[in-house]
Amino acid sequence: MKRTVLIAGTHSGVGKTTVSMGVMAAFTRRGEGVQPYKVGPDYIDPTHHSIICGRPSRNLDTFMMSVNGVRNSLQNSYGDADVAVIEGVMGLFDGMDSTEIASSAHVAKSLDVPVILVVNVHGMSRSTAAIVKGFTDFDPDVDIAGVILNKVGSPRHAQMIKDVLPDVPVIGTLPRNNDLTVPSRHLGLHMASEQDYDVNALGQFIEENVDMDAILSLARTPTEPEIMDEVGDPVSADVTIGVAMDEAFCFYYQEMFDAFRQYGANIEFFSPLNGDVPDVDGMYFGGGYPELHISELERSRTTRSLRDISADGMPIYGECGGLQYLCTSYEVDGTVYKMADIFSAETVQTKRLQALGYTEGVSSGKSIKGTIRGHEFHYSVTQCDSDARLAYQMKRGKGIVDGRDGIYEHNSLASYMHAHPRAFPVEAFVEECRQYRRS
């Protein structure tokens, strides 16, 4: 029985992430095996989930993965867990543009799993009932099975709200606790590796204030996929892909690693910050925070080596932070730093958000063909030379310039678009690495 529950909020900042992490920690403290998930294209929250649960957290996104892809992902990754906890995104009904697509509600409906709604009740009492009633009536196909009240002022405050709530059980009342928050920066929360909160205390706080048995009783088996993934035995590994993994490059989907291995690639993690230059057949530079470590990157042996490695034909793929790093230079706070110089382009960090949202690009390139779906989120602009070649014509999203994204040179490609493996030709990239190895 794959018992599954989704924890959502009325809006961003309501405490949904803290509650979700706390519920995961509380179940773990009780000896339950917890498989964590995150709705939407989020790289940061899943790192916290994974540390708490001891299992890789996965993303569920109906735009990038499709409804059937979301169902397959949960079915294939639940494993021997006792319960799956899905953390929602933004407000429960907030999806792409004005639609339900990619919202927490859409994922809950797609899987037919119950929702626990987190409501910040600071500064109100009876009005809570109006909010909860609005959420329960808005879409009857979304099963809001319970409510957790956050930032409750006192037991009397909690009781006043319980007395007027509609027919949705209150399964938790959380008093204000400023000590149990996760710090954030411009792209979201701090990474789990920078953890400066007490996971055990968080789990204990939730256990003391939430009916964990009620959550287990509400959780239910999700809808199975209409078409099951045909996942055969992995191809015998005959290539190695180097994945940049350190404080500068840390935004990755677990399913991308799974796909690499499925198509016959070993993964070797390496640190550009430490100057490692791995002996591999291809490289992948994900997003992250290169701007926070820009001086070290400029001095890195990896940085100085990549131009020649790319010119030799090694397949190199970069996303967002990876794009910024693989350009000629990166200007941060008025200082220009030399980068890998694979692409004839300069990146400039900005104070204002330049792009945020889902993306869709069409490519007819040598190996990257068809429609690619993903997400972009960056505080920078990249200015290409006039002869730069761009792979993607954007149907949705901003990209690098003039509605285009995916700059390429030799067998290297980088874009602002973060792609999910269900909407990106992973097999083609691995095959390029295979051809390079044989050359």
Q: Say which of 320, 327, 384, 433 is annotated catalytic.
A: 320
Phi, psi for residue 278 in degrees, rounded to 5: -75, 155
- The CA-based angle 53-252-262, given to 5 degrees, is 90
Q: Which residue has the tokens 């002022």?
A: 153
* Concatenated DSSP letters of 365-407: SSS-EEEEEEEEEESEEEEE-TT-EEEEEEEES-TTBTTEEEE
Tell which residue, 191, 187, 184, 179, has the closest CA to residue 46: 191
Tell which residue, 281, 280, 240, has the closest CA to residue 261: 240
328 DSSP assignment: E
Distance CA 309, CA 342 (A): 9
Distance CA 59, CA 51 (A): 15
Distance CA 344, CA 193 (A): 33
Which distant-in-sequence residues (6+ apart) come within 8 Å of 379 by Cβ? 186, 187, 349, 350, 351, 352, 353, 354
Whether 129 and 161 have beta carbons less than 8 Å apart is answered as: yes
Q: Which residues pair with 380 in a beta bridge?
A: 349
Give the CA distances from residue 123 to residues 35, 44, 157, 168, in Å, rounded to whole numbers and listed in that order: 35, 30, 10, 21
What single letter denotes the amino acid at residue 239? V
What single letter denotes the amino acid at residue 22? G
Distance CA 267, CA 258 (A): 10
**Number of Cα atoms under 13 Å in the Cβ half of residue 308:** 6
To the query of whether residue 433 is one of the catalytic residues in this protein, the response is no
Provide the annotated active-site residues: 320
